[in-house]
Amino acid sequence: MNTIVRPLSDVRRTLDIDLVADFTCPWSCLGMAQLNRALGNLSGDVETRLRWHPFRMSKEAANAAPRSFHDYLAERLPAGISVPFAEKSLTEAGRELGIDFHFEKLGPLPSTSEAHRLVQLASEEGQHAGVAAAIFRAYFERGADIGDVNVLADLAAEAGLAEATVQKFRDTRAGDQALAGSEERLRGFGVRTVPNLLFGGRVLVPGTVNVATYVHALDQALFPSADEESQAQPTLH
């Protein structure tokens, strides 16, 4: 894709990007990869800051039998779209972005609570994007149990998270309160599904889109019109 965001002159130099996602959502995985591809089209001196917002799409009740990924995916599809068709489409879209989806490796749907808690801790040292990307790949490409603290700790260490932070994740419940608070705030904003991306606190891109749409959103966020500048917008942060 050859679309380039306009070169920067007299515009804001820092852009916050809020990503609402969940780790068992293949569209969230695609969205993060598409965002990274779009950011590669930025031209000029601009700093982007990704802020991760956890939103668990599947929170099982105590003692409930675990669902399969197949069942979870089926519940999220529009009427008339089959799981095999969706998986084929997702696989093709992932291939274009360097993601090798292996849905056949996915067993019972894991809880994503621990994965989100880890990313909350990783954000304290600015390593959340790399850790989140590693979790997505481990789950969708290898079928790793991302509900297991030890599996997640190993992934975090491999992604470069500080040993002290990894140990904090293993030995404490740090991050639990932030996770619950973030989800409550998002539901207050009306969020009900993932992914969602908010650029510069003003340009919202909900659902699954393509790289070109994210490039356009970046352009809008970096070059707001006078009318847009005068309108106060809510922020997820």
Give the CATH number of the domain where residue 130 resides. Answer: 3.40.30.10
The pair of structure tokens assigned to 102 is 């292996």
Tokens (6 digits) for 234: 């809510």
- What's the token pair of residue 214? 């994210």
pLDDT of 232: 47
- ∠ CA 8-35-107, rounded to 5°: 170
Backbone angles phi, psi at 96, to 5 degrees: -65, -20
Is 3 within the bounds of a domain? Answer: no
Residue 237 lies in a domain: no
Please provide residue 20's backbone torsions phi and psi, each rounded to the nearest 5 degrees: -105, 120
204 in any annotated domain: yes
pLDDT of 224 reads: 82
Residue 221 lies in a domain: yes
What sign does the CA torsion over 99, 101, 106, 109 have? positive
Element of type H or E holding 53: strand 47-54
Task: Please indicate, yes or no, if residue 7 is contained in any of the structural domains.
Answer: no
The predicted structure's pLDDT at residue 235: 62
pLDDT of amino acid 9: 53
Residues sharing a CB contact under 8 Å with residue 92, sequence separation 6 or more, in sequence order: none
Query: pLDDT truncated to tens, each residue of the chain (237 aa)?
Result: 455 555 545 545 789 999 999 999 999 999 999 999 999 888 777 889 999 999 999 876 556 677 899 999 999 999 999 999 999 999 999 999 999 999 999 999 999 999 999 999 999 999 999 999 999 999 999 999 999 999 999 999 999 999 999 999 999 999 888 888 999 999 998 999 999 999 999 999 998 889 999 999 999 998 887 445 545 455 666
Q: State the pLDDT at residue 195.
A: 96
140 in any annotated domain = yes
Q: Taking Cα atoms as reference points, which of 48, 53, 52, 54 lies closest to residue 16?
A: 48
Position 130 scores a pLDDT of 96
* Domain count across the chain: 1
Polymer length in residues for the chain: 237
Q: Dihedrals φ, ψ of 18, to 5°?
A: -100, 120
Give the domain extent around 183. Answer: 14-230
- Adjacency order of strands within the sheet including 47-54: 47-54, 14-21, 196-199, 203-206
Bond prior to 7 in cis (omega within 30° of 0): no
